[in-house]
Amino acid sequence: MHCAQTVVETCTKHGDLLDMFCVDCEENICITCVQQNHRSHDWNRKNKILDRLKSELADQCHLVRQKEIPSLQTEIQKIKRLKSDNEKEFAEEIEKISSHTEAAVMSLHKLSKDLVRHCELLKSLNEENLEEKKKEIETIVFQFECSLKGFEEEIKTSNLSELLQIKKKMISIPHPKNLNKEETTLQHINFTAGEIKENLLRSILGKVDQTSRSVTVSKLLDAKIGIKRFKYISPISQTHAWCREFRSSENVLIDITKGSKEMTCSFGEYQSAPIPEDIITLKNGDNIYTWHAGHCVMKISPSKLKDAETVDIKVTKLVDISPLFPVGICAPSDNRFLVSAIDTPAIKRDSFTKDQPQKSVVILLTEKGKIKKKFQYQNDNKTPLFIYPYRIAENTNGDICVIDLSGTNNGHLVVLSSSGRLKFQYRGTGPNKADFDPRGICCDSAGHILLGDCNNRRVHLLNEKGSFLTYLIKTDEELWSMSLFSTTLWIGGENGFVYVYHYQLNDP
């Protein structure tokens, strides 16, 4: 019997035993390799690395079994319920279509019966006229027959003188009046068929759309407030909103009851003053905005914006996030803010690729400007979440909804959970999907996400899962900014146009 000998590997560089393992480099190493090249790496003796990996994998399996699988099973049950709801909704809609079609057919039958009754009436009138004329002629014939019969009897026994008298009587008998031809002409019945048009029948029967049954909009205002496209539009009430045009130093307050500017606040010269990139108004009246060129988030007290037509305002610095440049901002509540930021200045449309940011983040701030959390990478902690996070909102689920620009004329939606986990992305829909260019975003109290598609000039309505529901609004203008305040939807367009809609959430 021969015993197998264990082969002991040694390092070809140093001659030491290869009894260590570097997890970062995924290679066997010796103690000298550790000291020279792997000190800052994740390394240890092979048996310890083996035990640790076994433990980690066991923990991961346990985590998947205890958390991930039940979560997925819950989703399966949810899908089953949705399938059942879908079947029920389908059956209900089919019943509605059948009932409506039956009602339309019954209406056609009623109209058909009315036409037949009208024909029967005309037929009856013809019959009455003809019968009356027939009786009239029969009376005349009877009178002729009686007169002729009397004359014929007299002729048989009359002499010459009497026959001459009979002849005179026959000549003197009144002849019946000539019958009017029109009175004995049949009045013809003529049916003229209506034209059967498919589009008319479709309009009668209705149509089937995949659309949201819970949202309706109606236009309140369509007014030209400025001359350029709007950088942002930020409502402070259902009737008033701040807005600023691109490359303007003026913050304009719009009053939709008047359809015009109510107040103008000047921020000074374009390059040097703390001009807003994006602005929000809190419930307490404070205005918070991102000063892109100054690397800061700024604050304006509401008392600075009253009792004047033009106000030179003073602002205070809430937080400096240098070296990052802040872009979009939203306020899930009065005590915290979400700010998107990049590591390069605002990108020009003609040099997006050359000046593309290398670092793009979303930052969670406290009301005092303290940074609580940053969201930068996807679930693998390596892949960036964003290229250029332009505008930001939070829905009722606590999800962070970010417009990410991926080119000069296109972008997509990135949605994160409150912990920063990537939930889904939306890249548009329909034949013009490649031109999807979201610029405005807001969320309603039902969890819907609204996206203003600049290139395609329409508002996309999504549910909280990211599924497309409908094009809520279609316009002739590019949509550059959007915001929702209670039941008022504000949209800033091209060439200084502002659109305001009443936004109604209906009961399901």
Q: Across residues 109-127, what is the average pLDDT?
A: 88
- What's the CA gap between 450 and 483, in Å, rounded? 9
Is 191 exposed, middle or buried, given 0-12, 13-18 or 19+ CB atoms closer than 10 A?
Answer: exposed
pLDDT > 70 in the chain, percent: 87
Q: How far is CA 238 from CA 80, 250, 256, in A?
A: 40, 22, 9
Could you tell me the pLDDT band of residue 147, with boundaries at 50, 70 and 90?
A: confident
pLDDT digits 0-9 by tens, 393-445: 999 888 999 999 988 788 999 999 988 999 999 999 877 888 899 999 999 98
The pLDDT of 241-247, averaged and rounded, is 89
- Residue 305's pLDDT is 46
**Max CA separation in the chain (angstroms):** 175
pLDDT in the model for residue 439: 95
What pLDDT, on the 0 to 100 scale, is given for residue 263?
67
pLDDT at 30: 92
pLDDT at 174 over 80: no
Q: Which of 61-75, 148-162, 260-274, 339-353 has the lowest mean pLDDT?
A: 260-274
- Residue 241: beta bridge partners? 235, 254
More confident residue, 415 or 314: 415
Residue 349's pLDDT is what?
45
Q: What pLDDT was estimated at residue 413?
A: 97
Instruction: Quickly list DSSP for 37-88.
Output: H-TTS-EEEHHHHHHHHHHHHHHHHHHIIIIIHHHHHHHHHHHHHHHHHHHH
Confidence of residue 367 (pLDDT cuts 50, 70, 90): confident
**Average pLDDT, rounded, for the chain:** 84
Q: State yes or no: pLDDT of 347 exceeds 80.
A: no
Whole-number Å distance between alpha carbons of 461 and 489: 13
Statement: residue 175 has pLDDT above 80: no
d(C-alpha 440, C-alpha 401), whole Å: 11
Main-chain dihedrals φ then ψ at residue 309, nearest 5 degrees:
-85, -40
Mean pLDDT of 13-36: 91
Q: What is the rounded distance in angstroms from the CA atom of residue 104 to the CA atom of residue 121? A: 26
* Confidence category of residue 309, pLDDT binned at 50, 70, 90: very low
Report whether pLDDT(322) > 70. yes
Distances in whole angstroms, Cα of residue 255 to Cα of each of 38, 146, 305: 66, 101, 14
Give the pLDDT confidence score for residue 267 in this predicted structure: 59
Looking at per-residue confidence, does 388 or 78 come out higher?
388
Mean pLDDT value of segment 366-390 = 91
* pLDDT attached to residue 319: 93
Neighbours of 97 (CB within 10 A): 14
User: pLDDT tens digit string along 36-82?
Assistant: 989 889 999 999 999 999 999 998 898 888 888 887 888 888 788 87
The per-residue pLDDT for 86 is: 82
Domain residue extents for the chain: 109-205, 215-505
Superfamily for the 215-505 domain: TolB, C-terminal domain (2.120.10.30)
pLDDT digits (tens, 9 = 90+) for 449-476: 999 999 999 999 998 889 898 899 988 8
- Does an H or E element contain 100, and which? helix 69-157
- Residues of the chain with pLDDT > 90: what percent? 34
Can you give the pLDDT at residue 312? 52
Question: What pLDDT score was predicted for residue 307?
Answer: 43
What is the pLDDT at residue 1?
A: 45
Least confident of 55-64, 181-190, 358-367, 469-478: 181-190
